[in-house]
């Protein structure tokens, strides 16, 4: 078994992103591995029924905002993971996370669940579940709603 040296961490900048980043940084430090955060911008092209396509200007501003958030994340984690990198890409979350992990030679993906239940989970599906299903490398799924036990 090869050592884990390259970890891909998909982030969505939701309320639980900080927990995921802290956990991934802890795991990376324990394994002497490098982190690469990825955020996939998945903009819907608008509502065809309402005739309201998203403007190119809105999409451009949104992507710029996400790149700034990624820069901030990297700055915040720099003291714990000085070699951390980050990417913001446009596309479909599951496909692009799995492709990125595969093409970059990731040894592990650390992803967070959102804890969706019932109809929401059935209708939207779980990105984490689908990444587990399609990834070519191991996937560690973190539940941000459970207390993490670590020795200090």
How many residues belong to the chain?
152
Judged against a pLDDT cut of 60, whether residue 93 lies above it is answered with yes
pLDDT of residue 123: 46
**pLDDT value, residue 152:** 47
State the pairing for strand pair 85-90/34-41.
parallel
Residue 74 pLDDT greater than 90, yes or no:
yes
pLDDT tens profile 94-112: 999 999 999 999 999 999 9
Q: What is the pLDDT of residue 46?
A: 52
116 pLDDT more than 60: no
Domain residue spans of the chain: 6-44+57-142
Percent of the chain clearing pLDDT 70 (strictly above): 80
* Nearest alpha-carbon partner for 130 in 96, 102, 86, 103: 96
Q: Is 34 exposed, middle or buried (0-12, 13-18, 19+ CB in 10 A)?
A: middle
Find out whether 139 and 98 touch, Cβ atoms under 8 Å: no
Please answer whether residues 29 and 81 qualify as being in contact, where contact means their C-beta atoms are separated by less than 8 angstroms: yes
Q: Does residue 51 register a pLDDT over 80?
A: no
Q: How far apart are CA 106 and CA 102, in angstroms?
A: 6
CATH class name, domain 6-44+57-142: alpha beta
The predicted pLDDT at position 105 comes to 94
């Amino acid at each position: 078994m090869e050592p884990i040296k390259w970890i891909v961490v998909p982030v969505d900048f939701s309320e639980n992103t900080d927990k995921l980043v802290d956990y991934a940084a802890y795991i990376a430090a324990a394994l002497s591995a490098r982190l690469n955060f990825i955020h996939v911008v998945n903009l819907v092209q608008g509502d065809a029924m309402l005739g309201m396509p998203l403007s190119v200007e809105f999409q451009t501003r949104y992507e710029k905002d996400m790149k700034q958030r990624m820069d901030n994340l990297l700055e915040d984690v720099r003291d714990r993971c000085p070699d951390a990198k980050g990417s913001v890409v446009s596309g479909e979350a599951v496909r692009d996370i799995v492709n990125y992990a595969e093409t970059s030679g990731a040894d592990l993906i650390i992803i967070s669940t959102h804890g969706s239940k019932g109809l929401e989970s059935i209708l939207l599906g779980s990105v984490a579940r689908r990444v587990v299903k399609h990834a070519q490398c191991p996937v560690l799924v973190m539940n941000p709603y459970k207390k993490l036990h670590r020795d200090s």
